[in-house]
Amino acid sequence: MSNIKKLASQTVYYGLSSIAARFINYLLTPYLTAVLTKQDYGKMGAIYSMIPLFNILFTYGMETAYFRFIQKKERVASINSTITISMLCSTVLLFALTWYSQTALASIASLKEFPQLIQLSIIIMALDALSTIPFARLRNEGRPLLFAFIKIAGIVINILATIFFLSYCNTFIAAHPNSLLNLVYNPADSPIKYILIANIMQSAFTLLFLSKWMLPEKWAFDVALWKEMMLYALPMLVAGLGGMINETFDRLMLGWWLPITYDFDEQRGIYNACYKLSILITLFIQAFRMGAEPFFFKQAEGDNPQKVYARVMKFFVIVISMMFLVVSLYIPIWKHFIASKHWVGLDVVPILLLANMFLGIYYNLSIWYKVSNKTRAGAYITLVGTAITIIINFLFIPHFSYMACAWATFCCYGSMMIMSFVWGQKAYYIPYAWKKLVAYIVIVVALFFIHKGAMFLWGNTWFGLLVAALLTYAYGWFIFLVERKEFKKLPVVGKWVK
């Protein structure tokens, strides 16, 4: 149980830092949805759909390769040096290529009129790429507190800089038109420019703090090792690109395929804001991945790791199913996290919550091809998911706008989850209690529809919240009764149960 306890504690710490990291937009969502127009919020959504995609390209699977290869203790120095040199060279090369291609990138993002936004985004991508391996080194060394401090400190800088630019500068310059602040701030510029500058400040600060872990102790490039790592990493690059297309490209597709009768910036602004309400599950999955990836690889070297993987999956599904209820049943509260002008899109939230549940389960399942060096399987599964995303969006965005994006995400992640489970059980069997886990998911979906039916019949918000509380409590008590023996094995919970 010490292994599960360690994973849980690291997930908590990584969770705190992930909340900060993912809240680059999330913590600012109420503020940004209030101060930005729906059109500007849509433009920001397009930019922040591109950045994660290119982050995958800039890191090309080397983060996962690092965790896989660093377990060989006798090669630690060579691995650190080789992967650092590789990342430095590739970042410089990709920065030059993307800078040269900025016009094409602006066209893809439907931002031809705002080339400066693309330039600032490229700088962010390069800085973030350089911090990838230093962060991986911290995670591998089991230093979640330092990891969390750097992440949170960076995000505080981002938040303060964003509020300074969007609120203080306008007010100050209006009162003092001849001030020195005019040298760095122009009220006529797009507000997205200053959001990106704040992000650059965060990325630069983060890289500065990570400088101790950025450079190797000895400079040496092992060509044979690099080839070995690339053979492992490149399928992860394909999987990562496909995964990020599935996760973020729908905001760009709205700009490509919506009829001209729609204001596509407004539509993707509404969708982008409502997407934030799947925040709890998204953040937990991000936190879990941070702690689980190095944990899973270390477990692979021990006795019967499959049993550990199966138990981790059980606890994971229990947590995210409860989170689904907490968000989906309490939308009347959560919706105040975004400006009321975006509430028209709230129907996508339960769909996206389920989609992200599927994605989290898929991340758990993906351990089979990572530890067995069959990373091509991950690429194939993700490419199928990407095809599903593109086809559904292409066919249905012209008719259903962002609702098509939500259902495409649901179908994509659901398909990837099923494919990975079926394939993985044949190639690397893990004794998942899959019937029980499926039952848990079906139950929470049924409870959601029971709540929805009660709201349809009576429609009172306070009554709906009361029903939500009763259903959430009932599910929690049900899980406690079913998993009572399992909970007794947990160090803290077990004492309470006894």
Burial 361-380 (b: 16+ CB within 10 A, else e): bbbbbbbbbbbeebbebbbb
Token digits of residue 271: 């969708």
CA distance 498 to 493: 9
CA distance 290 to 13: 10
CA distance 358 to 213: 34
Tell me if 327 sits within 8 A of 474, measured CB to CB. no
Q: What is the number of other CB atoms lying within 10 angstroms of the CB of residue 102? A: 16
- The CA distances from residue 359 to 60, 101, 281, 388, in Å, are 20, 32, 10, 14
Tell me if 60 sits within 8 A of 233, measured CB to CB. yes
Q: Mean pLDDT per segment of 10 residues, for the chain of length 498 residues?
A: 55 57 63 84 83 88 84 79 93 94 85 86 94 87 79 86 87 77 81 92 92 83 91 82 78 83 81 81 74 67 79 90 92 86 90 93 88 84 92 93 93 95 92 92 95 83 88 93 75 44
Whose tokens are 């040298």? That residue is 183
Tell me if 198 sits within 8 A of 168, measured CB to CB. no
Closest to 191 measured CA to CA, from 25, 40, 48? 40
- The CA distances from residue 103 to 110, 115, 195, 249, in Å, are 11, 7, 21, 18
CA distance 114 to 106: 7
Phi and psi at residue 332, to the nearest 5°: -55, -25
Q: Which amino acid is at 193?
A: K
Give one word for 490, left, alpha or beta, with left for phi > 0 and alpha for psi -120 to 50: beta
CA distance 60 to 87: 9
Token digits of residue 485: 């023996």
pLDDT at 1: 45
Burial class (CB in 10 A: 0-12, 13-18, 19+), 28: buried
* DSSP for residue 186: -
CA distance 496 to 9: 18
CA distance 228 to 221: 13
- The CA distances from residue 239 to 68, 275, 370, 384, in Å, are 16, 22, 12, 10
Tell me if 245 sits within 8 A of 389, measured CB to CB. yes
Phi and psi at residue 220, to the nearest 5°: -160, 135
